[in-house]
Amino acid sequence: MEPSLSRIGLAGLAVMGQNLALNIADKGFPISVYNRTTSKVDETLDRARNEGNLPLTGHYTPKDFVLSLKRPRSVIILVKAGSPVDQTIAALSDYMEPGDTIIDGGNEWYENTERRLHEVSQKGILYLGMGVSGGEEGARNGPSLMPGGSYQAYLNIEEIVKKVAAQVEDGPCVTYIGEGGSGNFVKMVHNGIEYGDMQLISEAYDVLKNVGGLSNVELAEIFSEWNKGELESFLIEITADIFKVKDEHGEGELVDKILDKTGMKGTGKWTVQQAAELSVAAPTIAASLDCRYLSGLKEEREAAAEVLEAAGLKEEVGTVRSGIDKKRLIDDVRQALYASKICSYAQGMNLLRAKSVEKGWDLNFGELARIWKGGCIIRAVFLDRIKKAYQRNPNLASLVVDPDFAKEMVQRQAAWRRVVGLAISAGISTPGMCASLSYFDTYRRARLPANLVQAQRDLFGAHTYERIDRPGAFHTEWTKLARKGDTHVAALN
């Protein structure tokens, strides 16, 4: 008797792939799995047995794998971004038919997805690039899913992804994002926001520890407390946990023994590059990327500390710390973190909007905030407020000017300025908080000193300028006039 066909297939069984496959099987959808290294297939089969005899079958050749699927077939691939994806598509698509669907669940550059979408469409195959967030835990128990590409392809798997995604009170954390590579792009920006969030939290930690003199035990308590209020989020929750873990190889907590060098995979860099391409200011995300680069220069930083100390630089932390009201500092840092975070999310949303306009994706920002409320790394209670802000006004220019968020920024700005000022006077760098604050201060000012920059550009490059009191473009012979005392302006028509 023929074994019955699976509802969906998954190729690529590293940790994320295994966990997502088991999640799908757990939700009652029979699934076929395949991996080039056969031991991974066996490992996944073992897990499926041990985790509840889940309806999962293993296959050892691309042909057997594809032919084990119900038509129209849907195959998720979770392999390393770049050429491994192309190789996997080539191996599988030989056995696929028009109407079948390929879903790439990796962190892929969105233009690669658009190229592949076009290539496989020549064979009549449908394609989705689907961002998957939540790490291995999310993949197994409910990730946030961001599928973009063929809408028909999405409809083919909608029933599955809605059950597999994280569930929040207003539905599953998945939605059809839009055409082309929009799903990958949204996931990329999600990761950029995540960089900003992590940087801001590390700065809050730095100020509390070094200016406030707080112990890890106190920090764990503070972050646990913060996680009950407006800052409630996955990253705040795990931060509280990190401070509690003791070092098994010595005294104290493990966090203090970790080398201060940050790794990165590239999505944060792509986000900042895209922001520059689209002329969108994303200073908080850029600052977090710069900090990762600077953290990598561990030896140079140690040498710099010695050279500058020898040159007479004195640590100001002690002086600043002596006059500190701890309770107030903790509350100020909480407010500064929240206000900085709003700016970081505003930058991410503005980048998404600019791309959506450029590509005609018609992204729904309220929906994006909603699907990020569960499953993903940046999941946070305040995403619900972002969702509501975009529901009130889908054309919101910036989160900073949503009436609710505007009130919150105004209420928190005194605390925010105190924290940044304190950090600066103590010589503790807070690049993310400073970037957020200067973003806020630049964006809210009706007039900036850009008039002087424009005058400089006109002087040395005849770039012309506009005036605030009359229409048209103007050019002035600045140097001649400055040195003559003559005030003749040539109007350009």
Backbone angles phi, psi at 462, to 5 degrees: 50, 45
pLDDT higher than 50, residue 275: yes
- Please check the confidence at residue 2 and state whether its pLDDT lies above 60: no
Residue 211: how many other CB atoms lie within 10 Å: 23
488 has a pLDDT exceeding 60:
no
Q: Tokens 């590579």 — which residue?
A: 181
First-last CA distance in the chain: 84
Q: What is the pLDDT of residues 395-448, one digit of tens each?
A: 999 999 999 999 999 999 999 999 999 999 999 999 999 999 999 999 999 999
Known active-site residue 97: no
CATH code: domain of residue 482: 1.20.5.320
Query: What is the distance, to the nearest Å, from the Cα of residue 34 to the centroid of all Cα atoms in its chain?
Result: 30
Average pLDDT over residues 124-142: 94
Q: Would you say residue 74 lies in a domain? A: yes
Catalytic residue among 194, 203, 253, 408: 194
Considering the domain architecture, whether residues 68 and 165 belong to the same structural domain is answered as: yes
pTM: 0.92
> Are 72 and 168 part of one and the same domain?
yes
Binding-site entries for substrate: 107, 133-135, 190-191, 195, 265, 292, 457, 463
Determine, yes or no, domain membership for 492.
Answer: no
Q: Are strands 56-59 and 74-77 parallel, antiparallel or unpaired?
A: unpaired
Q: Which of 187, 269, 355, 387 is catalytic?
A: 187
Residues at the annotated binding site for NADP(+)? 12-17, 35-37, 79-81, 107
Q: How confident is the model at residue 1 (pLDDT cuts 50, 70, 90)?
A: very low
Give the pLDDT of residue 265: 75
Contact 263, 301 (CB under 8 A): no
Do residues 151 and 300 both lie within one domain?
A: no
Query: Does 124 share its domain with 208?
Result: no
What's the domain range around 439?
A: 187-444
The pLDDT, as a whole number, for residue 484 is 83
- Check if the beta carbon of residue 220 is closer than 8 Å to that of residue 246: no
Buried b (16+ CB within 10 A) or exposed e, 167-184: ebeeebbbbbbbbbbbbb
Residue 1 inside a domain? The answer is no
What is the average pLDDT value for the chain, to the nearest integer?
Answer: 94
Q: Are residues 359 and 346 in the same domain?
A: yes
Res 443: pLDDT: 96
CA–CA separation, 21 and 32 (whole Å)? 8
Cα separation, 419 vs 387, whole angstroms:
29
User: What is the per-residue pLDDT across 356-391, written as a single tens digit (0 to 9) for each?
Assistant: 999 999 999 999 999 999 988 899 999 999 999 999
Residue 229 and residue 108 in one domain = no
- CB-based contacts of 16-20 (< 8 A; 24+ apart in sequence): 16/78, 16/105, 16/132, 16/136, 16/139, 17/78, 17/79, 17/105, 18/43, 18/44, 18/47, 19/136, 19/137, 19/139, 19/140, 20/76, 20/78, 20/105, 20/132, 20/139, 20/140, 20/143, 20/164
* Residue at 467 is within a domain: yes
Predicted confidence (pLDDT) per residue in 157-186, tens digit: 999 999 999 999 999 999 999 999 999 999
What tokens does 261 get? 């060098």
Q: Residue 235 belongs to a domain with what CATH number?
A: 1.10.1040.10
Residue 181 lies in a domain: no
Distances 85 to 102, 120, 270, 305 between C-alpha atoms, Å: 11, 13, 19, 45
Domain count, the chain: 3
Feature table: binding site? 12-17, 35-37, 79-81, 107, 133-135, 190-191, 195, 265, 292, 457, 463
Instruction: Let me know if 159 is a catalytic residue.
Output: no
* Pair 195, 153 in one domain: no
User: Is position 360 within any domain?
Assistant: yes
Q: State percent of the chain over pLDDT 70.
A: 98
Average pLDDT over residues 461-480: 95
Pairing status of strand 167-168 against strand 171-172: antiparallel
* Positive/negative CA dihedral, 291, 235, 23, 164: negative
Together in a domain, 152 and 274: no
